Structure 1
C-alpha cells in the first residue's frame, strides 16, 4: 500500500504563514504536518509515499531525503506544474496514473493540510474496498464537503456504511446529508483503472474539479466503504481558525 499526500496548493488564506512554504510544511510541536501524517501512515506499515508538489515545491524536495533517511522510507516527488490554475483532480490523477503505470497497488489519499486522529488512518487502512472517511457527527455548514449516501446499509457496529453516492459537494442540502467527507480516502487496486478514467473525465470537463467527485461515479460501479468517524476528531487547515484548532488537536493526540 502507498501513501499519497497532496501538497501542491498555495494556502492563500493562511498567509503570511505560507508565504515561503506550502501548508504541509507548517510545524506544530516541532514537526511538519507532512511528517506527522507520514508517521500515522507508517504505523499501518506504509513505507512508500508519493507527494504531489507545486507551490514552493523546492522546500518539499529538499526535505524528502531527510525524511527518507530518518524513517527508512521511500518518497517519490511528482509535480503538478499547473498547480495555480488546476485543482485536486489534476494532482490526484498525476499520482494515481503513476501508480497504475509503475506499480499498481492500493493507496491511501490524503489532503496535505489534514490533521486527524491516528485511529482514522488505522480504520481506513484496514478496508479491502475503496473507502472514504465520513464525519457523521460534526455539525455541517455551507463550507462542509457533504455527501448523500442512498440505499445505506451499516455494519452491526455502525462503523461502516455502504451504498451509492447520490450527491457530493459543498452546495448540497445540509439536512439531507449523511455527513462530511474529510479528505482521507483509499483507492483499491481493483478500482484503480476506473478511478483514473473517471478523474480524466472530470479534468476534461473542468480542470478546477475536485477529485472527490470521482467517488460519486465510482460508487455506481464498485462497492465503496464509508468509514464513519463516530466522533473521532480531525480538521482541515484552511484558515487561521483551523490552524488554531489543529494545534489544540495535536496537543490532545500527543497527550
Structure 2
C-alpha cells in the first residue's frame, strides 16, 4: 500500500506562517506536519508515499532531500493548485488509485495508532476514517453512517442526519471504484471546485464505502495558529 498526501494548498488561514513556506512544512511540536505524517504512515506499514505539492512545492522537495524520510517518497507537482480545489490534487495522482492506497490531507497530524488502525482495518473496497460526532465545528466534513457504511458526506449535512465527522483519511484495497468516481465528479460542471470528499459522497451513492470508526488516538487539523498550540498541548 502507498500513501497519497495532498499538500498543494496555500494555507491562507495560517498566515503569516505560510507566507514563505508551504503549509505542510509548518512546524508542530518542533517538526513539520509532513514529517509527522510520513513517520505515522511508515509506522503503519505504508511502503512508499507520493506527495502532491503546489504552492512553493520546490521547498517540499528540498525538505525531503534534507530530512531523508524512512520510506521512499516522490513529489508530484499540481500546476492547478491555485485554481482548483483539493480534487485537483487527487487527479494528479489518478494513476496510483487503482492499487491499494491511503490518501490524506496534508494539514493534519495523527497519533500513529490512528493511522495504523485505518490502514489495517478489515474489509474490501474503499473506506473513510471517521469519528462519532459530538459537537460539530464550522469547518467539519460531516458524514452519515448507517450499518457500518458511509451514506452521505458534506459540510452542510443537517444536524439530525450527520452522525460522524471525517478525519480526511481514505483507504482502498485496490480496484477501479474510487478512480471512476473521481473522473465522474471532476468532469461535472464546477467539478474542479469540489472538495475531494465529493468523490466519496458520489461513490457512496452506488457502491459500499466502509466507515472506519477511529478508536483511541488523537488527531488535529492544523488550520489556524491556535491548532498548533492545541496539538502541542496534548503532546508536549
Specify the alignment match of 1:223 in structure 2. Answer: 208
1:172 aligns with 2:157: yes
Pick from 233, 239, 251 the counterpart of residue 218 of structure 2.
233
Q: Any conservation in 1 of the 2:110–2:220 contact (CA below 8 Å)?
A: yes
Specify the alignment match of 1:139 in structure 2. Answer: 135
TM-score by length of structure 1 reads 0.84
CA drift of 1:93 comes to 1.8
Deviation readout 1:140-160 (Å, 9 max, x if unpaired): 1332110112xx22xxxxxxx
Specify the alignment match of 2:95 in structure 1. Answer: 98
Aligned partners of 1:5 and 1:77: how far apart in 2? 10
Aligned partners of 1:87 and 1:139: how far apart in 2? 26
Q: Any conservation in 1 of the 2:111–2:218 contact (CA below 8 Å)?
A: yes
Specify the alignment match of 1:76 in structure 2. Answer: 74
Specify the alignment match of 1:45 in structure 2. Answer: 45
- Single out whichever of 130-139 and 36-45 deviates more from structure 2: 130-139
The DSSP-based 3-state class of the residue aligned with 2:136 is coil
- Note the residue ranges of structure 1 that are not aligned, 5 or more in a row: 154-161
Q: Any conservation in 1 of the 2:8–2:53 contact (CA below 8 Å)?
A: yes
Q: Superposition pairs for residues 79-228 of structure 1, below 5 Å?
A: 79-95=77-93, 97-100=94-97, 104-127=98-121, 128-129=123-124, 130-149=126-145, 152-153=146-147, 162-165=148-151, 167-190=152-175, 193-205=176-188, 206=190, 207-228=192-213
Specify the alignment match of 2:32 in structure 1. Answer: 32
Q: Any conservation in 1 of the 2:185–2:202 contact (CA below 8 Å)?
A: no
TM-score by length of structure 2 reads 0.90
Aligned partners of 1:35 and 1:164: how far apart in 2? 30
